[in-house]
Amino acid sequence: MIPISVQLYSLRAESEKDFDGVLRALAEAGFQGVEPYSLFGMTPTQFRSRVESLGMRVSSSHFPFANRTPVAQTVDTLVALGLSRAIGGYAPADFADRDAVKRTMETTQQLVDDLGAHGISLALHNHWWEYGLIDGRPAYHALQDAVPKVQFELDTYWAANFGACDPATELKRIRSRTPLLHLKDGPLTKGDPMVALGEGKQNMHAILNAADPEVLEWVIVELDACATDMMTAVKESLNFLVDHKPAGQHA
């Protein structure tokens, strides 16, 4: 089965208070990895050691974010974390119009080239604004086509664009380039809190079945905000994925 990780941003408040307690709870629940957004004052080596001491791995990392950090610093941090893939992402202004998208394409290609020289690949994480229409098509499609070597950490909730897009279809479009999936669930209404996987409007079965099991390396639970206890929702999300066999489960 494809291993399951959790983006620690989901548990940011809890992690700031008791990082070790959060890690222990996640390991005991059965998570196989964590994806940090911060190293909580530790060096990359210390962070990795803390995670691995509990039988988990650093699945991927949003620290540092590739397009906000010097390449050398990104490479050094990722190597120390045991990773060979950087993650980056863009702000709404970077997809605001045709000229902005062109600049974003150029930035992305340069990052792919610069990181690639060090043996590091680049995966982009999306929100909803990448799916706004420019010249009649989603801006993200233009970037995907323009930079064929960039990979994706597709955030399937934001890829739904509050119901304007079908995330399974969006995943199929780039399935050969998507080694990481962010999974959220909720009402698909801007500003409303999220819920545990399987309890919202996302068609998780269709999404998971759209992934390429030969490419997908991790599924990552991320709930930006939740109306219920976050740790409970994160654990319920893990149980949902285990019960419903994420893409990549072989007989």
CB–CB of 221/200 below 8 Å?
no
Tell me the residue length of the chain.
251
**What is the rounded distance in angstroms from the CA atom of residue 161 to the CA atom of residue 164?**
5
21 occurs within a structural domain:
no
Q: Which residues contact 196 (CB under 8 A, 6 or more apart)?
A: 185, 223, 226, 228, 232, 233, 234, 236, 237, 240
What digits encode the pLDDT tens for the residues 90-100?
Answer: 999 999 999 99
Does residue 33 lie in a domain region? no
On whether residue 102 sits in a domain, the answer given is yes
- Summarised one tens digit per residue, pLDDT across range 185-244 is 999 999 999 999 999 999 999 999 999 999 999 999 999 999 899 999 999 999 999 998
Mean pLDDT value across the chain: 96
3-state secondary structure of 180: strand
Query: Residue 157 and residue 122: Cα distance in Å, rounded?
Result: 21
Taking only the tens place, the pLDDT of each residue in 22-68 is 999 999 999 999 999 999 999 999 999 999 999 999 999 999 999 99
Angle among Cα 145, 206, 28 to the nearest 5 degrees reads 105
Looking at residue 99, which CATH number applies to its domain? 3.20.20.150
What letter would DSSP give residue 77? H
Number of domains in the chain: 1
pLDDT at 251: 31
